[in-house]
Structure 1
Amino acid sequence: MAIQARPLVFINHGESDQSDGFIRHVERALNDEGAIDNSKVALVIFSDRYTASELCFHEAVRIYDRRREGKLVLIPVFYRVSEDDVNMFNGRFGESFLETLTIQGFRDHPFAEHWMRNVNFICTDTGFTSADYSSNDTSLVEEIVRAIKRRLQGKKLPRRVQDEKLPSPLDMFMPKQPNAQEGFGKELLYVAIAALLCYFIIPFVFTDWMSSVSFSGSLLF
């Protein structure tokens, strides 16, 4: 079967992220700018539920490998979670990660440290933090679209101010008491839909590797 020239769109999201309203918003904005059909950009959307599935980490490792090889542009987005919490695996982001490791039996597995280091690498790339946009998702989407256009044109993103990052080996964080279960309110809904922001943005071209690996995401033709 002939390989399609149009790049595939890779979906990188957690298992519990179930919404499409925000996705349609992003897709419409990117279509208006002609970004999807011409894109070789990967967005990694970090939310506090990103760490709920080990498959997200497998995907992120492959994304960063391709970024390191110069085959795609990587843009991290920190949605309703701080960059420090992601980089250091603190807060709910870290708690969810510990739960995933425990459930999957990976607490002492080399995968754990490898995943953490990969997240640290991704955090060093220039990206976006939703807190900088006063919870205005529309403005955030518009900036992401502009950033993709700049990168496709070979321009660098404006450098954001970043604190010096420290390595975060597995023993740097301790299990915390889980917070009382909260209802699925507006805040959590925004987190869930934003974690799927990459639904229509992450173009990812796979060949033989696709047939041998399971993903939590999907491919759109």
Structure 2
Amino acid sequence: MEDPLAKKPSAQVRGKSKKAKRVSAVSPLEEGEELTDTGTKDGRIFNEQNFLQRAAKPLSVDKWIKRTKVDFLGIPSCVGFGLHADTHRFLILPSMGQTLLSILEDRGTLSEKVVLHIACRILDVLKFIHSSEYVHGDINAENVYIKSEGQPQVSLAGYSHAFRYCPGGQHVEYRQASRIPHEGAVEYISVDSHKGAGKCGPTIVVCSANIFLNRFSVPVLEKNAVSQFIGLL
């Protein structure tokens, strides 16, 4: 993969987008650690922790890599988690590099080759989580990470909106006007999510991938390149 950071050696790694007030009793956050001011079991950090522990266990990821014969699967493992004073929940994730959003802000455009490579790597992650009966629900440039040291690696993070859409192989009922409309990054989520029925699985992937290509502000892609990518969906 062409390194999108190659021409920007001075680019600084930016932290994850989720931030919260820090209290004096909490020690400084380690790299990759997230902090939120909720201790309930229905918060976003808890939802992400639940997904990582249930569907993204390192052993499950390794088995999937061997079975599908991919060289890398960009899904983070949960290094640690906990509660501080029963009010602040935190997760510790490994360093995944720089967000795609920060790279786009620094460079403005990416080459066709890089765009297609990133998209294909994200599709690998989506295939894995869909096979585990989950959808991501919030694919956007802030949740895509690129690590350029050595062989460039693309990771998809931000599972706070992950949802088990097909428990036991039974697809959840499609229901509009629920209590959870517009969840996720507004410019990326599917029409179904805007209608309050964001747990519809594949339609999210197709819509997100379509916007994903256009959002990068790349030069006009060759028709055959786009066709090759869409053929992977």
Shorter-chain TM-score tier:
under 0.3
TM-score where L is the length of structure 2? 0.25
Question: Greater relative contact order (Cα 8 A, min sep 6): structure 1 or 2?
Answer: 1
Higher share of residues assigned helix: 1
TM-score where L is the length of structure 1? 0.26
> Which structure has the bigger radius of gyration?
2
